[in-house]
Amino acid sequence: MSIADENTTVVIIGAGVSGLALGNFLLRSGIDCVIVEKRSREYVEQRQRAGVVDTRGVRMFRKWGLEDRVLGGAPLQLVMNFRIDGETRPLEFAADDYNDGRFCPQQVLVRNLIDVFVSDGGDLRFDADVSVENIDEHPRVHYRDSAGTDHAITCEFIAGCDGDRGVSRAAIPRAALTRYAHEYGYAWLTILAEVPPTHQSMMSLHARGFAGQFARGPHASRFYLQCPLDTSTAQWTDENIWAELETRFGEPVANKGRIVDTQLVPLRSVVYSPMSYGRLYLLGDAAHIVPPMSAKGMHLALHDAEVLAEALVHYQANDHDSSLLDGYSSTCLDHVWNYQAFAAWWTELVHNAGDVSYQGEFRHQIARADFKRLFESGSANRLFSEFITGMN
């Protein structure tokens, strides 16, 4: 069964942070859009991801009149807690004027963005098996819904917000994209556990590798263990996980709650250039990936969404002036590379400061010197703080 063609200005593929933020910005600006999402609403709203909206993100939602409707959670503490050689050392941020950040689990932000978009009259369609065509000039998005009905939407623009394995980037001719990538050579075993956090964050630098605990709401934590790339999750029993965490933290884990999920995540940085082709624009993980150590995936996704929203608003309000749309990729990539540089430096520093076996004693000592500088140099700490809080 098929339904007659529909028309809209923008089709947004993917109901993650970038797609939902873009949809809300366009809806508030009077620009017609439809969001189509492969997964179910239940899956999208329960998907566990990063938990921080930094200062730039909070101020962005405030500017668009959405702060009180989509952001929850406690203010972001301007401190990182480290266990270094068995000693707890808090690293306080120097950027006290950049304290708007919010601890907000991504699933909460996504759920709130969905609620606002739908309640304000937005068109959001889940369980959509999507394909695209004619992205050069006259884009069309096809999808089949969960009932087996085929739909086609003709639009002026497509926003590809469907992640690293989505259909959006795959629709761009391979020769038109350049992929830049760096593999760090190790992975994280990520562990979601029903353990109330004692801090918003705790990170350990240990000779056996990095370990971390990050809050995921009041009753859950995400733990991380640095592992070789050939590690199998099967070898990590619950007993082994808790024992290794205690070894690397150098203290008992007070509450060993139920482990809900474990996954192996190879650390990598990826950038695709350009971030647009014809009338298709890539956002978030469809265009770039940063290692989780930097906690900047959400930051970059929201930045992309705002840049594209402002370009589309300008296009509609200025007789189809495409100057901002034409500059979308270069504007975003300037910001992306700035944060890729930070992410690569911070990821290598934290892992080399603990694990001598990865790059050797020389890089270990360099990392320790860099790390010491963050505690002792006001200028180094302030530059670091500006990146962490999202204001560089």
What is the DSSP secondary-structure string of 58-124?
A: HHHHHHTT-HHHH--SPBPPSEEEEEETTEEEEEE-S-TT----EE--HHHHHHHHHHHHHHTT-EE
Distance CA 196, CA 255 (A): 8
Take residue 357 and report the two structure tokens written for it. 């076996």
What H or E segment, with its residue span, contains residue 159? strand 157-160
What H or E segment, with its residue span, contains residue 270? strand 259-273
pLDDT single digits (tens) 215-243: 777 788 889 999 999 999 999 999 999 99
Check if the beta carbon of residue 271 is closer than 8 Å to that of residue 336. yes
User: Between the ranges 51-55, 161-165, 253-257, where is the mean pLDDT highest?
Assistant: 161-165
Distance CA 271, CA 121 (A): 34
Q: Is the dihedral of CA 47, 50, 52, 54 positive or negative?
A: negative
Check if the beta carbon of residue 25 is closer than 8 Å to that of residue 304. no
CB within 8 Å of 237: residues ≥ 6 apart: none
The pLDDT value recorded for residue 96 is: 60
The pLDDT value recorded for residue 371 is: 92
Nearest residue to 33 via CA among 134, 139, 180? 139
Check if the beta carbon of residue 390 is closer than 8 Å to that of residue 378. no
Q: Where are the alpha helices (DSSP H) in 181-292?
A: 238-249
Residues facing 81 on adjacent strands? 90
Residue recorded with tokens 């350990």: 204
User: Domain ranges in the chain?
Assistant: 5-77+102-180+271-353
pLDDT single digits (tens) 331-379: 999 999 999 999 999 999 999 999 999 899 999 999 999 999 999 999 9
Distance CA 109, CA 288 (A): 21
pLDDT single digits (tens) 96-137: 666 788 777 788 899 999 999 999 999 999 999 999 999 998
Confidence tier at 1 by pLDDT (50, 70, 90): low
Q: Where are the alpha helices (DSSP H) in the chain?
A: 17-28, 41-46, 55-63, 67-70, 106-119, 167-170, 238-249, 297-317, 323-326, 328-352, 356-376, 378-388
Task: Tell me what the mean pLDDT of segment 239-264 comes to.
Answer: 92
The identity of residue 343, as a single letter, is: A
Which bin fits 310, alpha (ψ -120 to 50), beta or left (φ > 0)? alpha
Confidence tier at 95 by pLDDT (50, 70, 90): low
CATH code reported for the domain at 5-77+102-180+271-353 = 3.50.50.60
CB within 8 Å of 362: residues ≥ 6 apart: none
Distances (CA, A) of 98 to 81, 226, 308, 320, 385: 19, 30, 25, 36, 9
Residue recorded with tokens 């007070």: 254
The pLDDT value recorded for residue 322 is: 97
Round the average pLDDT of the chain to a whole number and report it. Answer: 92
Q: For residue 24, is pLDDT > 70?
A: yes
- Decide the pairing of beta strands 178-193 and 221-227: antiparallel
